[in-house]
Amino acid sequence: MKKFGAVFIYTILSVVFNGAYAASGSFDFDRWNGLQDSVRESAIKENISSETIDATLKNNVFIPKIVYNDKNQSEFKLTLRDYLNRTVSSERVKTGHYMSKKYPTLLGKTAVKYGVPKHVILAFWGMESNYGSAKKAYKLKDAFFTLMYDGRREAFFTKQLLALMKIADKNHQNINDIYGSWAGAMGHFQFIPTTLTQYGADGNADGKIDIINNVSDAMFSAGNYLNKLGWNPAEQIAYKVLIPSEFDSGLINGDKKYSFTEWAEKGVLNMDGTPLMNSDIVVGLVSDAADDAVSNLVSSPDNDVDVQSVKVAYLTFPNFYRIKKWNNSNWYAIAISELSEKLK
């Protein structure tokens, strides 16, 4: 007998209201039920309690909107300029300064313990959950089952679900009470379960790690994660520069790294049009090929007048690439850099 239950009712309603998924084809109940059977088998092997297993497999819901969101993430659709306008907004900066005044002691303790400056912690907090105000929209188990069914990263999301089950077991929680984002992240800094398992830290020394409801635990966990990624508090994240509008597009994705001197030889300039300093510090370079030139620059150390069309780029330091281990997006790492600078 098919395990239709609540998932059948919800799926039919969801498909009616989500044309994008309806166009993709019919729902495969055999696959859905097979995923649940597989999770049960894996959970038993990993000694997860029967109570948590039963709670995890009770009344699961497939959510088409999550599949739609996964295929339409803003970093994939927006230009860098549009993305920064959206993420590094004046309101987010204003709220960040307010939070800095609200939690000075906690931010200071996090900075001392983990070597991550206050403005960096604030930038991650703002980007990840708008300082804890982001809506906890979905039961995480439903998000994981939906993403597992979609199949793009089935093994990854299966691993996350099993980790979440272990967290529920350890904290004596009902997994149905754990909510988060459509992508399966939770709490103030939007940790996925495996990240929480590895880097979670008890900020208020109560013997528990609650990154959803406890700001102390959330901040300490974020600081611990960045510290373990090798964060260097003495180093900046990115340095804003200008490049010629016809700059080699193969050099602007952050993968190729050269010294300041070598980038200068390739035509990279300071924002005021002056040459970069001579230095053997090795950095990457990130810019958006889709962005138009921003101005006609009139200056040159070699000519009286040199008019050239230029656009904005960023020289990227090792901290930039540590951010990408948190979120593997150039746009995200640049936004953290820009927001953190405004929150100093």
- What's the pLDDT tens digit per position in 103-137? 999 999 999 999 999 999 999 999 999 999 987 78
Report the pLDDT value the prediction gives residue 127, as an integer from 0 to 100: 97
Structure tokens that stand for 280 in this block? 């053997």
Is pLDDT of 69 > 70?
yes
The residues that bridge with 284 in the sheet, in sequence order, are 316
Question: Helices (DSSP H) in the chain: which residue ranges?
Answer: 5-17, 19-22, 29-45, 50-56, 64-71, 74-77, 80-87, 90-102, 104-114, 118-129, 140-150, 154-170, 193-199, 215-228, 260-265, 318-326, 330-342
For residues 48 and 42, what is the distance between their CA atoms, to the nearest angstrom?
9
pLDDT of residue 308: 67
Predicted confidence at residue 286, as pLDDT, reads 97
pLDDT(2) > 50: no
pLDDT of residue 302: 52
Residues 6+ positions from 149 with CB-CB distance below 8 Å: 28, 31, 32, 35, 62
Please determine, for residue 225, whether its predicted confidence score (pLDDT) is greater than 50: yes
Domains and CATH numbers, the chain: 1-76+140-184 (1.10.8), 78-136+186-233+320-344 (1.10.530.10), 238-316 (no CATH)
Between CA 237 and CA 219 the distance in angstroms is 20
CA 214 to chain centre: 20
> pLDDT-derived band of residue 34, with 50, 70 and 90 as boundaries?
very high
Alpha carbon of residue 179 to chain centroid: 17
Encode pLDDT of 240-254 as tens digits. 999 998 899 999 999
- First-to-last CA distance in the chain? 61
Mean pLDDT within 294-314: 64
Specify the pLDDT at position 242: 95
